[in-house]
Structure 1
Amino acid sequence: MYRPNEDRTENEGQTVLSIRDLNRLIKRKLEGEPQFQDIWIRGEISNFTHHSSGHMYFTLKDADSRLKSIMFASYNSRLPFMPREGTRVLARGSVSVYERDGQYQFYVTQMQPDGVGSLYLAYEQLKKKLEQEGLFAQERKRPLPRYPRTVGVITSPTGAAVRDILITLKRRSPSVNILLYPVLVQGKGAAPSIAAAIDHMNRLGEADVLIVGRGGGSLEELWAFNEEAVARSVYASRIPIISAVGHETDFTICDFVADLRAATPTAAAELTVPHHLELKQQLSAVTVQLRKSLLSRLELQRERLVKMRRSQALTNPWRLLQQPAERSDRLREQLLYRMKGIAASAHQTKLRLDRRLEVRSPREQASLARSRSAAAHKQLVQAMGALQRTKSREWQSAVRQLDALSPLKVMGRGYSLVYEEGEQRLIRSVHQVQPGDLLRIRLGDGKLSAGVWAIDPEAKAEE
């Protein structure tokens, strides 16, 4: 019996539940009913949201009703297709209640398209993705080697496919080497097994071309060749790959990525190596053509030899040498004439240079320089004498003027100069001395020492 928590209250003898308790009670009721657990429903997806957490939130609807649904990331990560708005699906899960909102929801654990197989939808989605990435581009596909020495075969070691491939290869080219890499071609581990085999054969680097395939089967049986891991290994292979999955009308992802697609394993073997009988026929044809070419070339060379035997070069070789000998004589004469002309021109040039050298002889140049130096010395002496006489006259004139203005001349006429005792200052006024000062008097023929006994300014004024 359900026991609500302490949020309940009593009302006239009846239990009152909280909303949380009611939602929890309904949730437990639904989860306890087998008819609401592990059920399949059909509907159309709307309001689809793929949350950053990885969970998918959407609504399943039909013509009459809607159902809130959720598919957690742990479940949707295994989906072979990506749900989209408007996709009709078959969903498996359980009904429960989201307690916070009091809303019942369908919790999906599995999902597949309704009306279109999930594998086919996953195939179309992966095909579109890889095509957009450029894995199917024709410009990246490599040509097969024309005459492979070693063929790698990646397939199941049992079954008709490997037998058809080996028989066809040996029948068409008995000398070809075959490396068989046994793998799983059906079931859960098939795709990793095929991808690992392609990578290993590339690391070995012994095969010139690889055949990857199996016999026919249903879409589910061939699904390993639609896996992304196999497609990317085929794309990364440095060795050209032929996809040989045994189905005529349908294509696998491996067919689109491979360098060449073969409808059957037998067709793949036929495309891989040329038939040895065809090669023999081609070799015979080439041998016949080569023999014809050699005989034709031999005949042509024989005709040339006959013509050469009849030519003047062999019958009368001296006649061929006459014209070159005459031309050689003329060239010799022209050469001698030009050499004489060149020698005469060189002699004239030498004479001109000798005359120019005589005119510009160092001895003549030295004599001319001495003459110019003597003339320059004479001009210098004359100029110095004239300058000396001019300066002498100027000096005598200045002496006469200086003598005429000399104070000694004035003193010779009875005048004198009165100085202070140290002769530092000339006495020009009676106001410059005082009684008792010592003075120095300079006359025309000597000096006197005197003292000031009295000062008479008036006598000075009268004078």
Structure 2
Amino acid sequence: MKIKALTVSEVNNYIKKILDNDFILSNLVIKGEISNLKYHSSGHIYFSLKDSVSKINCVMFKGNAYSLDFKLEDGMQIVAKARCSIYQGTGSLQLYIDSMQKEGLGELHIKFEALKKKLENEGYFDSLNKKPIPRFPNRIGVVTSENGAVIRDIINVTQRRNSLVDIVLYPAVVQGEGAYKTIIEGIKYFNKEKNVDTIIIGRGGGSLEELWNFNEELLAKEIFKSKLPIISAVGHEVDYTISDFVSDFRAATPSQAAEVAVPLESDIRNFIEDSLDKINNITLSEIGYQKEKLSNIKRILNLNSPEVLISNSFLEIDRTHEKMKEIISNRIDREKLRIKSLNDLLEAHNPLNVLKKGYTIVEDNEGKVISSKEDIKENDEIQIMFKDGKVKAKITNNM
């Protein structure tokens, strides 16, 4: 009897079909510790999953690896969705990973991401809604456990930075079922009393379960609704909660929260001194400007004052008077010259001037000049005008 032999490829292919058609092996949820981790340049991730007894090789292809929201590390405990099959080229059994998450974060992590996405879409994380942290507070309200390290750290940092700032504690429960309700009460209390400038909410580090109260939707909405600015200081630097995203400022630690909320006394003094210098400079500048403005106004008023106008009018009158005097004087001088000229002309033609040379003028009794002897008869009375007067005469003989 002849036995048919199978090739290696046929055996591997047969095993692969059996594994691929097995419902359980095709829909595995497996947990274990990562080891032999290698991020390939192609984008694929190769590693092994192990427990205290066994180990199995795994591969996560680039397309699935892209959706990971955390970085894998050797020793990390994870829960993965996968299918079991073999690589035909070598016949090695391995898991093909579709998705994974850190162990213990499964449902909570999914819930966290869902709430984060919802609140982000509703604008709860929008930077435009963030309130500024007051620069110079008088009181800081703290909502946390009265016995935890958080309040001690905040007090220590505050006293070191500025002893004038008071800390008001609202004791709250920060862990356990329903603890977030006491945090909400603290926020409402400070908003009602309005006795603080800034609120710090927080607690120390812990697992996701321990920090979960700061991921509650009701707390997130209360933080968003607060009229007072809120600083979230939850867990360690690597821990993020919904409260961190919705608050006005996220501090990596409670100590950093105090540093953000409380200014240094030296910074306040420097600010005051700088402000005084600016005020003095602005004041002196404004005084100088107003003085110059007043001087200009005074100069304009002086130029346009009634006194100046009257003085200018007097000056104008004086100038006009002097000009009129000059005109009149010139006119008089001209008239004098004209009169002198006329007088000289008259003198030149004055018949009396002839008398000075010994000539006389003969007139009848009526004062008419007799220019011919034919105009007189014997016994006529005549007047003879000499240079120094007149005499009367009677004609006795008319030759």
Structure having the larger proportion of residues in helix: 1
TM-score, length of structure 1 as denominator length: 0.42
Question: Whose RCO is larger (CA < 8 A, sep 6+)?
Answer: 2
TM-score, length of structure 2 as denominator length: 0.48
